[in-house]
Amino acid sequence: MKKHLRLLPFVVPGLLLYAVLFIYPTVTALYYSFTNWDGMSPSYQYVGFDNYENVSKDIIFQKSLVNNMKFMLAVVVIQTIVSLMLALQIHKKSKVNVVLRALYFMPTILSSVSVGFIWSFIYDPTSGALNGILTLIGLESWTQNWIGNTAIAIFSIAAVQAWAHIGQMTVLFVAGLQAIPPELVEAAKLDGASKVGLFFRITWPLLAPAAAIVVSYTTIQSFKAFDLVFTMTGGGPAYSTEIVSTYIYNAAFMNYTFGKAATASVYFLVLISIITVVQFKLLKTDRVSY
């Protein structure tokens, strides 16, 4: 008992930060979600569950949820598959692979705002590099307004999100691959396992913890991509790239309906929690033991 008490001073600062930066804002948002506070007035009224009913029936909020799901699925699929493929190529220790890891990781150190501005220029329909390259290689019929087309705008931004964080996920997969006992791989090879069989019977099952981290972290990133979406489109055109975080921002700071914004935040928290738990269950991270 005395030993644990001696460790308490080391735990308290972290608990205080967690309480101030997470627990207090969460409880406050839950409290204001039952009010009609505008964010400025010293007084407000309790409205019960009216905000929850109004937000759930809001067509723009419903559209933001659909857009967020499209964005999340696109980012998770692209980012997970590409980062895994890259990790399989560069997980072995060598000078070349160290350089490649650094190069792949570089976009991650850029701020999302910088990435948004860079790719806004690349996607520009008249002078952007993407349409210019497509025209140069004879694919002019593919050129279009990548973030002005309501049908593909959300997927264009999802591609940018994936590009910016693939290097980060690659490093996580590399760490997972390097933790796999080499004797298991060698034994499987001696037993005549093919590369495909080796991957699905040895590599992938032992990568489950790393994959769970990558998928859950990528999911949370995709739901928090406010700065990227806001920089590139602001939620337009015609709300085709409106996601929950931009909806919350507009409700709070554009329309001054903080109670409504707090309600959307509560929905947001519950949704992320449910999706993350389901992902961990599907990946079955507890099945792996070293």
Q: What is the mean pLDDT of each run of 10 residues along the chain (290 residues)?
A: 72 88 90 92 91 95 94 94 93 88 91 94 94 93 93 96 94 90 81 80 85 87 90 93 94 92 93 84 55
- Residue 9: per-residue pLDDT: 79
Structure tokens that stand for 11 in this block: 């735990």
> Which structure tokens are listed for 161?
């999100």
Non-local CB neighbours of 30 within 8 Å, separated by 6+ positions: 262, 266
User: What is 66-253's CATH superfamily?
Assistant: MetI-like (1.10.3720.10)
Task: State residue 6's pLDDT score.
Answer: 76
Domain ranges within the chain, ordered by starting residue: 66-253
Question: pLDDT value at position 289?
Answer: 39
Other C-beta atoms closer than 10 Å to the C-beta of 23 total: 11
pLDDT at 287: 47
**What distance in Å separates the CA atoms of residue 93 and residue 204, rounded to the nearest whole number?**
20
pLDDT score recorded for residue 221? 86
Amino acid at 256: Y
Q: Tell me how far apart the alpha carbons of residues 147 and 276 are, in angstroms, rounded to a whole number.
A: 29
122 vs 128: CA distance, rounded Å: 4
Residue that the structure tokens 């690659």 belong to: 170
Q: What is the pLDDT of residue 3?
A: 67
Tell me the C-alpha to C-alpha distance, in Å, between residue 213 and each of 173, 221, 279.
9, 12, 10
